[in-house]
Amino acid sequence: MPVVITLAENGQISIPDDLLKDLGLKPGDPVSLAPVPEGILLTPHLSSSPVAAKSQLQDSIHRKNLETPIHVIKGVGPKLAETLGRKGIATVEDALYLLPNRYEDRRQVVPIARLRPGMTSVFAGEIISADVVATKGGRRFFEAVVRDASGTVSCKWFNFNPAFLKKSWKQGRRGIFTGLVSQFGLQREVHHPDAEWLAEGETVEAVMARDPVSFGRVVPVYPLTEGLHQKTLRKVMKGVVDQFASCVESVLPPEVARRQGLLPLSEALQRVHFPGGDADSQLLEEGKDPANRTLVFDEFFFLELGLALKRQGIALETGIAFSVSHTYTKPLLKLLPFAMTGAQRRVLAEIKADMMAPHPMHRLVQGDVGSGKTLVALMAALVAVENGYQVAIMAPTEILAEQHYLNLHRWCDELGISVTLITSSLKGNAKKDVLARVAEGAAQIVIGTHAVIQEKVEFQRLGLGIVDEQHRFGVIQRGLLRKKGENPDILVMTATPIPRTLAMTVFGDLSLSVIDELPPGRTPIETRVCYENRRQQVYGIIREEVAKGRQAYVIYPLVEESEKSDLKAAIQMAEHLANDIFSDLRLGILHGRMKPEEKEGVMRSFKAREIDILVATTVIEVGIDVPNATVMVIEHAERFGLSQLHQLRGRVGRGSEKSRCILMTPGRLTEDGEKRLRVMESTTDGFRISEADLEIRGPGDFLGTRQAGIPDFRVANILRDGRILEEARQEAFAVAERDPELKLAEHAKLRAELARRWGGRLELAGIA
Ligand code: ADP
Ligand code: MG
């Protein structure tokens, strides 16, 4: 039997006399303590004092740190450790942050007569029948009827292995059962219950006492189940929480914790995993318990603190102080057929002020589709080139990089500035040549995908890095780009207006400029969702517009540049339209597999009105600008993200004529799918669209894939916890302002924990 001994204030431990005798010790004998899976191992020690014993105890707790591999936990064998590992749980800390996604109230055994539908309940009784039942309709299920003194309830399995079930579910057997009660006609039933069997003559109480992890409490239900029994995992988690939750130290400044009403972290962890008797499992399930708030706040706080320090750190570094000579910027403005909008001028002034300052710029330019970000970026690039520096422009896909290349080199040719494109398809000598030109500085503006930040690319003198469509890149990519020069300025452009909460997590380290004005003369685009049965009418609209001398786009989804079947569909569609529908009109096709020269040729013909209808894939998402195009038909609109539809739609409505966007869909959309597309009809405000997109799809999808740069949160949920994020951000930025390098003694632990959580990323962020 384990004996509880207490550590006194003065570090003394007192061991009951009879235990001392068992151990062959007498009062005053030194002992040493060591952590073992079962608890703490006490052994007689020859050269220790009670005080030494205390510090040893603390050290050992220290060593029992959170990086302890999970296989050390009692009950975790090699096979289980492997299963857990596959789910990303390698250490005790990983396990502590695997939170239950729901709870079951197993505090009481409920008499069968009092089982209520909708509740997960525990009941006990004897099986009075168990067998396969066939319905009249030919369906088969397994049914076991359980009886206690108050009544009977039917347990059912619909997908089952009868031999397996019959082995344990036998008439006359007694057990304790747990499951969700449902109602079927007048009868209550429980599907696929858990069972804990009673041995001959054993009482319910005895069995429950034997397994205090699963009974007599609010029990956690974890999200991992594949190849893993809930019960097994629960026992492992109990071991982890009991042994290690207390090792998790709260290092947030105490006044922050007090102001924000936070629990100690160790207590919060204990509470979310194994809630005490007073717990409200509903609140916990909804993430609204103080324990949830504590964990979420903690996670956000460190994220925001890192961003805050990074921002301050960069602001303090020495950077390039550019001067504005107007050598190229003035001539460019003369070449342009229009004047800059007020918003463009304001944002450009903010950028120039940053560039002239002797610290690195780190700025985000946000502006809706068509607000003219490219021009602003080009002007900034020209300032760098005027000062004899190189500029790198990074886009998330090859196609976007090519589009930028095509757009910019037209202007730059006239100004006598060399623009170079780096793509991953560049091979052999051609690649060598390009890299050499970049290294020598002959390439003044270099455009590419993340190929630009690869090791082999060396700049002679990088002064400015521009990242377009930033939401697909993260802090690390920005850090790598910075490393390509000596503290170059960084300008980030986002075409997708990003909801505030996301912006704070992804771009929290950047200063913000917003181009909040569209160039004049644009008319709002009318958008309509059309089902397949309206196709002929849609063709009619295209015809009408062309008859008026306007042009049209028909867009095909090509989600991945590599999806051959999609490409085929687009090409077939173009042929069908050319031969069968619009044989009297001039059609062109544009897709990502075409060579840059071919694409440029097609775009030029479209611009010169030599093409009436351009069938294209999403290649045209950016870059194409033909004010005479007044109608866009987007096929399979349901396959696009809303923000992407918004980008595409931005290709029309660029002139003074009324423009239309028709979202074609084959019909039979889900309710959510329909709701999404209707958003496009109701607004042309990019911010509202992206908020709606985020709400419907969730942040992961919204931002695309892994490259999103959005941190993987362990416990927080951006949508649910937006308020906490703002509070954590304020507190974190206040700490960073007061102690920009976390040098104060009181912040030592905070600093260490920050470094641990951000890992290598802090160095790239420039503050390690
Ligand atoms: P986005 O912000 O979506 O990247 P672009 O930079 O592609 O927008 O600009 C959209 C179109 O507006 C381009 O054709 C560009 O030449 C044009 N444009 C940019 N600035 C102005 C302006 N001040 N006045 C008129 N047209 C402009
Ligand atoms: Mg753009």
pLDDT at 259 over 90: yes
As to burial, measured by CB atoms within 10 angstroms (0-12 exposed, 13-18 middle, 19+ buried), residue 669 is middle
pLDDT at 622 over 70: no
Q: Flag whether 754 is in a domain.
A: no
15, amino acid identity:
I
Q: What is the pLDDT of the chain when averaged over all its residues?
A: 83
3-state secondary structure of 112: helix
Q: CA 391 to CA 489: how far, in whole Å?
A: 10
Q: CA 498 to CA 366: how far, in whole Å?
A: 8
Residue 401 and residue 448 in contact, taking contact as beta carbons nearer than 8 Å: yes
Give 134-181 as a 3 state SS string: ECCCCCEEEEEEEEECCEEEEEEECCCCHHHHHHHCCCCCEEEEEEEE
**HSE value, Cβ hemisphere, 13 Å, CA-based, for 514:** 10
The neighbouring-strand residues paired with 489 are: 464
Q: Flag whether 333 is in a domain.
A: yes
Mean pLDDT value of segment 88-98:
90
pLDDT at 56: 45
Q: Dump pLDDT digits (tens) for 350-393.
A: 999 999 999 999 898 988 878 899 999 999 999 999 999 999 99
> Does 530 lie in the same domain as 511?
no
Mean pLDDT value of segment 628-633:
94
CA 495–ligand 2 middle distance (angstroms): 6
CA 182–ligand 1 middle distance (angstroms): 60
> Does 504 lie in the same domain as 532?
no
Mean pLDDT value of segment 680-698:
78
CA 649–ligand 2 middle distance (angstroms): 13
pLDDT at 639: 83
pLDDT at 702 over 90: no
Q: Dump pLDDT digits (tens) for 387-432.
A: 999 999 998 777 678 878 888 988 999 999 999 999 877 888 989 9
CA distances to 148, 170, 175 from 204, rounded to whole Å, are 12, 18, 8
Angle between helices 265-273 and 230-244 (to 10 degrees): 160
The ligand with the least distance to the CA atom of 647 is: 1
> Does 657 lie in the same domain as 594?
yes
Mean pLDDT value of segment 164-191:
90
Q: Which of 683, 709, 737 corresponds to the end of one domain?
A: 683
Q: Which has the higher per-residue pLDDT, 757 or 432?
A: 432
Structure tokens at 501: 């909460």
Reported as a pLDDT band with limits 50, 70 and 90, residue 768 is very low
pLDDT at 721 over 80: yes
Which of 371, 496, 649 has the most ligand 1 atoms within 8 A of CB, as the residue to mutate? 371
Reported as a pLDDT band with limits 50, 70 and 90, residue 703 is very low
Structure tokens at 750: 């905070």
Q: Flag whether 40 is in a domain.
A: yes
CA 112–ligand 2 middle distance (angstroms): 65
Element at 436 (helix H, strand E): helix 428-440
Closest CA to 626 of 659, 594, 595: 659
pLDDT at 213: 83
> Does 529 lie in the same domain as 502?
no
Q: Which has the higher per-residue pLDDT, 644 or 622?
A: 644
Q: CA 604 to CA 582: how far, in whole Å?
A: 21
Q: CA 156 to CA 140: how far, in whole Å?
A: 10
List alpha helices for 511-623, DSSP H: 535-547, 564-576, 596-607
Going by alpha carbons, the residue nearest to atom 5 of ligand 1 is 372
Q: CA 365 to CA 608: how far, in whole Å?
A: 32
Where does 168-306 show beta strands of DSSP type E? 174-184, 187-191, 194-197, 217-221
* Among 34-43, 240-249, 412-421, 573-582, the least confident range: 34-43
* Among 432-446, 476-490, 614-628, 727-741, the least confident range: 614-628
pLDDT at 623: 54
* Among 208-212, 351-355, 387-391, 444-448, the least confident range: 208-212
Where does 563-697 show beta strands of DSSP type E? 587-590, 613-616, 629-634, 659-665
Reported as a pLDDT band with limits 50, 70 and 90, residue 566 is low
Residue 371 and residue 347 in contact, taking contact as beta carbons nearer than 8 Å: no
> What φ, ψ does residue 563 adopt, rounded to 5°?
-75, 100
423, amino acid identity:
T
> Does 441 lie in the same domain as 372?
yes
Q: Give percent above pLDDT 90 in the chain.
A: 38
Mean pLDDT value of segment 266-281:
88
Give yes or no for residue 494 CB within 6 A of ligand 1.
no
Q: Which has the higher per-residue pLDDT, 505 or 549?
A: 549
Q: Dump pLDDT digits (tens) for 134-155.
A: 888 888 899 999 999 999 999 9
Q: Is the dihedral of CA 683, 688, 694, 696 positive or negative?
A: negative
pLDDT at 567: 65
CA 395–ligand 1 middle distance (angstroms): 18
> Does 20 lie in the same domain as 140?
no
pLDDT at 709: 47
3-state secondary structure of 115: coil
Atom of ligand 1 nearest to the CA of 622: 7
Q: CA 257 to CA 552: how far, in whole Å?
A: 59
Give yes or no for residue 627 CB within 6 A of ligand 1.
no
Residue with tokens 């007498």, as numbered in its chain = 26
Give yes or no for residue 344 CB within 6 A of ligand 1.
yes
Residue 323 and residue 463 in contact, taking contact as beta carbons nearer than 8 Å: no
Which of 344, 375, 644, 654 has the most ligand 1 atoms within 8 A of CB, as the residue to mutate? 375
pLDDT at 49: 44
Closest CA to 245 of 277, 279, 291: 291
pLDDT at 59: 40
Mean pLDDT value of segment 5-21:
72
Q: Which has the higher per-residue pLDDT, 271 or 400?
A: 271
Q: Flag whether 223 is in a domain.
A: no
Apex CA 454: angle with CA 449 and CA 455, to 5°?
Answer: 165
* Among 124-128, 214-218, 605-609, 634-638, the least confident range: 214-218
> Does 539 lie in the same domain as 498?
no
> What φ, ψ does residue 308 adopt, rounded to 5°?
-65, -45
Give yes or no for residue 174 CB within 6 A of ligand 1.
no
> Does 529 lie in the same domain as 511?
no
Q: CA 105 to CA 450: how far, in whole Å?
A: 51
> Does 407 lie in the same domain as 483?
yes
pLDDT at 212: 83
As for how many domains the chain has, the answer is: 4
pLDDT at 690: 76
The neighbouring-strand residues paired with 309 are: none
Atom of ligand 1 nearest to the CA of 623: 7
pLDDT at 710 over 70: no
> Does 193 lie in the same domain as 141?
yes
Q: Which of 479, 496, 515 corresponds to the end of one domain?
A: 515
CA 470–ligand 1 middle distance (angstroms): 18
Q: CA 330 to CA 415: how far, in whole Å?
A: 10
Domain limits for position 43: 3-67
Q: Which has the higher per-residue pLDDT, 624 or 722?
A: 722
pLDDT at 511: 84
CA 578–ligand 2 middle distance (angstroms): 30
pLDDT at 158: 86
Structure tokens at 441: 């500085």
CA distances to 372, 529, 638, 665, 694 from 670, rounded to whole Å, are 36, 14, 10, 12, 17
3-state secondary structure of 581: helix
CATH number at residue 477: 3.40.50.300
pLDDT at 382: 97
Atom of ligand 1 nearest to the CA of 339: 23
Going by alpha carbons, the residue nearest to atom 10 of ligand 1 is 370
Apex CA 564: angle with CA 596 and CA 570, to 5°?
Answer: 70
pLDDT at 691: 74
Give yes or no for residue 684 CB within 6 A of ligand 1.
no
Q: Flag whether 251 is in a domain.
A: no
> Does 531 lie in the same domain as 422?
no
CA 397–ligand 2 middle distance (angstroms): 13
Apex CA 213: angle with CA 207 and CA 69, to 5°?
Answer: 135
**HSE value, Cβ hemisphere, 13 Å, CA-based, for 178:** 21
Q: CA 406 to CA 411: how far, in whole Å?
A: 9
CA 630–ligand 1 middle distance (angstroms): 17
Give the other-Cβ count within 10 Å of 648's Cβ.
23
Q: Flag whether 699 is in a domain.
A: no
**HSE value, Cβ hemisphere, 13 Å, CA-based, for 378:** 26
Give yes or no for residue 371 CB within 6 A of ligand 1.
yes
Q: Dump pLDDT digits (tens) for 99-129.
A: 998 888 888 899 999 999 988 889 999 999 9
Structure tokens at 588: 């062109």
Q: Dump pLDDT digits (tens) for 313-352.
A: 777 788 999 999 999 999 999 999 999 999 999 999 999 9
pLDDT at 136: 84
Atom of ligand 1 nearest to the CA of 650: 3
> Does 533 lie in the same domain as 385?
no
As to burial, measured by CB atoms within 10 angstroms (0-12 exposed, 13-18 middle, 19+ buried), residue 456 is exposed
pLDDT at 570 over 70: yes
pLDDT at 60: 44
Closest CA to 469 of 489, 502, 506, 496: 496
Q: Flag whether 409 is in a domain.
A: yes
CA 341–ligand 1 middle distance (angstroms): 10
Q: Which of 515, 548, 570 corresponds to the end of one domain?
A: 515
Residue 115 and residue 150 in contact, taking contact as beta carbons nearer than 8 Å: no
CA 414 to chain centre: 43
Which of 625, 643, 652, 659 has the most ligand 1 atoms within 8 A of CB, as the residue to mutate? 625
CATH number at residue 176: 2.40.50.140
Q: Flag whether 537 is in a domain.
A: yes
pLDDT at 629 over 70: yes
Buried b (16+ CB within 10 A) or exposed e, 563-586: eeebbebbbebbeebbeebbeebb
Give the other-Cβ count within 10 Å of 517's Cβ.
16
pLDDT at 293: 95
Give yes or no for residue 625 CB within 6 A of ligand 1.
yes
Q: Which has the higher per-residue pLDDT, 323 or 38?
A: 323
